[in-house]
Structure 1
Amino acid sequence: MSRIRLRSLYIASIGNDITITTFDDKKTTLTGNNTTLTGNNTTPTNINTTHTGTEFVVMFTPYYNDTKFVQLIVTSNGENDININIESPFPGTFKTTYKSHHVAIVDLPRSIVDLSDGSNSNAVKITSNDPIFVVGLVGLGPYSTETFTAIPSNKLGQSYFIATHINTVRYYGKDKMQTIGIASLQDNTDVTIYFSNTSDIFLQSSNQTISAGTNYTFSLGYLDTFYFETMDDITGTRIESTSPIAVFDGLKQVGITYDYKSKKYDTNINELGMEQLPPTSTYSNEFIIPVLMHSAGMDAYIISPDPVYKIYTYTDDVYTVYQQENMHKATLSFKSATSIASQSPLLLNIHVKMRYLMKTSYFTVNIPAISQFSNQYVLATPFTNNTYENFLSVIIKADDVIGLRYDNHPVAPVSESNINYENQIYKTLILRLSPIHSHTITHISNKVVFGVIVYGVGDGWAYGYPGGISL
């Protein structure tokens, strides 16, 4: 008997009808000012990388165990020296770093994640004189790491939907908590949270109860943050503000249920999840989810502010129409790539279960829409050791694969599959990513765009982030 591995996806919609179709088929640490970093000496030309920016505001949320490291991974396209400025009201984070070539890894104080429910002062502002790409990294040690792709400040908005979920598996008696973080870019920013719950919500660390149907309003100053955690499921909660804000959601700790030889197992896994959410103004309509190496499943939520909406799914030759209230969870076959289309813009977030060396791990990642692909990416792995495997999953039109270049060489995928979407064949390619400095992936034509997901898996842990989302 063959074993089917499942995956799922998380989708938030601001409209009614949703169609989902499945087709088978060197690390260097910056410790002060004026530190020089090295990387690959590759100069892409005629590039289209609107996923980069010159200003970012991020924050980091806490987890159960002591955080071992908090970092920013900063990459750029050019060869000129670039100044990267780090600003934060949190003690020990204000510094100016100096970057050469492609990649910088900036260490932040580990205690920056030590938050309590309510207002804090731990937002981090990253600025540069040239466009950069920023990834946030939190690690509890070699067996638990999470990354997120930072969104440029000029792409942030004033309306967001929460796309995380509560996990019912317990880890040594501990309940898994949803975490929500909000960072302000300006003084006098008023924020209102419209909770999606139909019963009271208990905010854990502050011992505060929010009644069902209650809106929560507060004000933030420049680089202030607001944080709360709860054991209640608040997926679909809406956040509105009077000025642009950065919003982060995730899980404080993850326990995973997985199938093995027709039996269900609950893992006692010390994992975490975190993503920066895009604003509703950047939602899009068409997506392709690539195949991911070592994936053992993906959990999904489909969310809409419309109280009643339809979901159309096609997976493993089964066509289903769902009529749901506010939220739906979908599960898809692991062996099938997936395309998603809707008349209304969507937010797509996937929670990925990985199976490697007989151990299960987890990460979350936002999937870029087809309209949010770029022409060139500069990427770096979190570490430069060989204790885990790193991969790229690329989504590109089949006719354009021949012009794809990885560090200036034709690509050599370890796996590939076809996706037929709108009478156009796309390919999902899995490339191995070596943990040495930085890597470029581009196309010989500046008119060709493609999507990239970066991820890695080790002995009981994993990470993942989109290589760029052009919002």
Structure 2
Amino acid sequence: MLSKPILCLAIAVIFTLAGNAKEIKAIRKRQTFTAVREYYLGFPLNYQRNAGAVPSLLLLTSNTSPVNCIIDVPAIGQTYQATITAANEAFVELPHDLQTFGDTTITNKGIHVQVDSNDIVVIGQNFRRHRADTDGSYLAVPTVDLNIIQYKYFELGMVLGAGRWPAQLLVVGTQANTTMNITLTQPVRTIIDGVNIDLVAGTEYSYNIGQLQTFYVSHSEDLTGTKIITDKPVSLFSGHGCAILPVTAGDCDHMIEQSLPTAMWGTTFYIVPIPRIVDTYYIRVLAANDITEVNFYCNDVEESHTINEGEYIHKELGMLDHCAIHSNKEILVVEYARSRYPSDPAMVLVPATIHYSNQILSSTVSGYQTDLRYIHSVIVIVLAEYFNATMMYFNSGGNSISLDTYQWVPIQANGINEAYYTYINNISTGTFEVFHTNQRALLNTMLFGFSFALHGGYGHAGSLEVRVDDQQEHQSVSGDPHFSIPLPSNEMLCYSIQGYSGLSFNLISNHHMIINALFIDSINDQTEATWIGKLAVILPSGEDDDTTVIFNSIDHKVEIQNKGEFKASAIEQININSHDNITVKGMVKHKGNPRVRVVYSKQAAIFDVTFHSQHLDIDWVVQEKLMENSHGLMGQFMNKDITVDPVKEILIRPGFEAIPVRKDYKW
């Protein structure tokens, strides 16, 4: 579950030759409680105004204890209340007029959902009640204050509807006095405060929206790439009133997804063919930043692209094509079923690997008279390092099914199995759960439902929340190389270090573990920054047989004493020594680069080493006992009461026990 991200306090450390350092649901009576999570939601128009579409919310939990939910809808003056448990999901039908449409851009149609538990899933649904030929659903994402100066969002969607029904963009404010700057990709004529206004494509406009206020824009052409920057978090809903994919085929269908701020995007995705399709499908990859390098490995055939901020790659894939996608910067990926057999199109936001966990709770669409006429299928994707089908289960309707009898297909990149996937078809209507008995395992799901009789289609992801242990990946640090250290205050201390080639220094030193580093020459002629070329992890034994692990960036190798040398991308798991309780294992690529995790159970220490093209990064995940009595450039700050001001330039004079190295290692 997503918790409050840690503030990254960036500090620069500069070495000189002399070793000196300097550091820079409806009821009238409202029940109240302290909300653990909040959602700010909305519904763009499904199909057309008099089509009889009914928006609704589906709330579910795996918690056996009651979970209380309050849903406020100020636009109609009503509050809905629901109490749910694992055996009882809640369906809350909302008024048709709560959909947002028309030429008036700023209205007050936001929906506020509060719950008193983290163990909750909220799904937005919008179906035509007696004729579900236009239907859509989205996985709601809880509002999180990321403690960043600005939030950046991009509209995503698909417009191939012959101009009859529009692409739509809906922003819902989560806080009062939110400044929003928007740059559209299409010109829009709209009404703001009773005044007709022409908004020019490519021009930035600034508006102020309040809590539960909505900002709505529609256009007959594609709005994908429209940029929204806010000073506070908002909720963005993207999609289409009724899209035809492609424009020359089939009927239209309503499509909607809640998008994510770019700080919650990812760099590794796995694309799987949509179940039951007998034709091609589409994906779009959208970039958050300039010079974003995207590598596709579809059926293990590499294809590379470079795109800039707001630009996207559109690909049509065959019914048997699956892909691994890696990028050097954050991207967003959307998958679309097309307008052809067995039904109308559907749109699903694809989870990045940072959204994976060991347990996924979700549900088919539910609550409508037509929902039993759908055939629902679940895609399960698990990272290769955790693939063990005998440890994976599917729960639905009180029945638990092992997934070891299902056919699993590997997804490869450069000949390496990175993930596996399977389909669970014809599942019952209602709540389901997919889980792995290994609590560290990482998997996710995507759900698709199609109706042959009604020509309807929908889909949504299993989870789009960032794992706690991956939040550090969204911290911004100026300069390279950099280190991040979680402080007892739940803040993050981040280093940027400069030095000179050949400098050896100590990062961690205590009685149980020593980590030394070696600088190499700058790998970028435009900067004077130095980089870490080698890391040595030494486990002192008190004798001459210390256990040593060497990470070498030059040839991407890991040398383990008495175990030989291994390519970083080929390591699976090596238990070095039962006495030392240390394990080295390969991880899923981070931003396209091999990552190795070191687990030292004796000291409750877990850290990751990422192999870039020519240098290394080290990031701590857990370092409980290791925090005690540690020295060295990183160790000296562990388990210390440190207060820093991220605005001011700070000088820290701890003595920097980084030079000389502890247990001098001859590189």
TM-score, scaled relative to structure 2? 0.57
Partner of 2:72: 87
Measure the CA separation in 2 of the matches of 1:63 and 1:451: 28
Partner of 2:502: none
Contact 2:252 2:339 in 1 (8 A): no
Question: Deviation of residue 179 (structure 1)?
Answer: 0.4
> What amino acid does structure 2 have at the position aligned with 1:239?
I
Question: Deviation of residue 240 (structure 1)?
Answer: 0.7
> Structure 1 251/305 Cα, relative in aligned 2: closer, same or farther at 3 Å?
same
Q: How does 1:356-375 map to 2 (within 5 A)?
A: 356=341, 359-375=342-358
Question: Deviation of residue 313 (structure 1)?
Answer: 4.1
Residues 312-354 of structure 1 deviation map (CA, whole Å, 9 limit, x = unaligned): 4454686555566733322222202111001111111122226
Residues 103-157 of structure 1 deviation map (CA, whole Å, 9 limit, x = unaligned): 2111111210043331111111111111211110011232221001111111677
Q: How does 1:332-343 map to 2 (within 5 A)?
A: 332-343=317-328
Question: Deviation of residue 300 (structure 1)?
Answer: 3.1
Partner of 2:242: 253
Partner of 2:116: 129
Partner of 1:60: 43
- Alignment length, in residue pairs? 410
Is it true that 1:461 corresponds to 2:456 in the alignment? yes
> What amino acid does structure 2 have at the position aligned with 1:466?
A
Is it true that 1:120 corresponds to 2:112 in the alignment? no
* Corresponding residue to 1:434 among 401, 412, 427: 427
1:153 aligned counterpart, secondary structure:
coil
Measure the CA separation in 1 of the matches of 2:418 and 2:74: 49
Partner of 2:359: 376
1 or 2, which has the higher strand percentage? Answer: 1
Query: How many percent identity over aligned positions?
Result: 18
Unmatched 5+ residue regions in structure 2? Answer: 1-24, 30-34, 467-667
Partner of 2:411: 419
Measure the CA separation in 1 of the matches of 2:189 and 2:83: 44
Partner of 1:219: 208
Question: Deviation of residue 405 (structure 1)?
Answer: 1.0
1:154 aligned counterpart, secondary structure:
coil
- Specify the structure having the higher radius of gyration (Cα): 2
> Structure 1 162/105 Cα, relative in aligned 2: closer, same or farther at 3 Å?
same
1:80 aligned counterpart, secondary structure:
coil
2:123 aligned counterpart, secondary structure:
strand
Partner of 1:176: 165
Partner of 1:275: 257
Question: Deviation of residue 187 (structure 1)?
Answer: 1.0
Measure the CA separation in 1 of the matches of 2:390 and 2:300: 31
Contact 1:84 1:126 in 2 (8 A): yes
> Structure 1 80/311 Cα, relative in aligned 2: closer, same or farther at 3 Å?
closer
Question: Deviation of residue 362 (structure 1)?
Answer: 0.9
Unmatched 5+ residue regions in structure 1? Answer: 1-29, 35-51, 259-264
Measure the CA separation in 2 of the matches of 1:454 and 1:370: 17
Partner of 2:276: 294
CA-based RMSD of the aligned residues comes to: 2.9
> What amino acid does structure 2 have at the position aligned with 1:152?
P
Partner of 1:21: none
Q: How does 1:377-392 map to 2 (within 5 A)?
A: 377-383=360-366, 385-392=371-378
Q: Larger deviation: 392-401 or 309-318?
A: 309-318
2:428 aligned counterpart, secondary structure:
coil
2:361 aligned counterpart, secondary structure:
strand
Measure the CA separation in 1 of the matches of 2:260 and 2:275: 26
> Structure 1 76/228 Cα, relative in aligned 2: closer, same or farther at 3 Å?
same
Q: How does 1:139-218 map to 2 (within 5 A)?
A: 139-140=127-128, 141-154=131-144, 158-167=151-160, 169-170=161-162, 175-197=164-186, 200-203=187-190, 208-218=197-207
Partner of 1:353: 338
2:144 aligned counterpart, secondary structure:
helix
Measure the CA separation in 2 of the matches of 1:136 and 1:301: 22
TM-score, scaled relative to structure 1? 0.79
Contact 1:177 1:231 in 2 (8 A): yes
Q: Larger deviation: 417-426 or 145-154?
A: 417-426
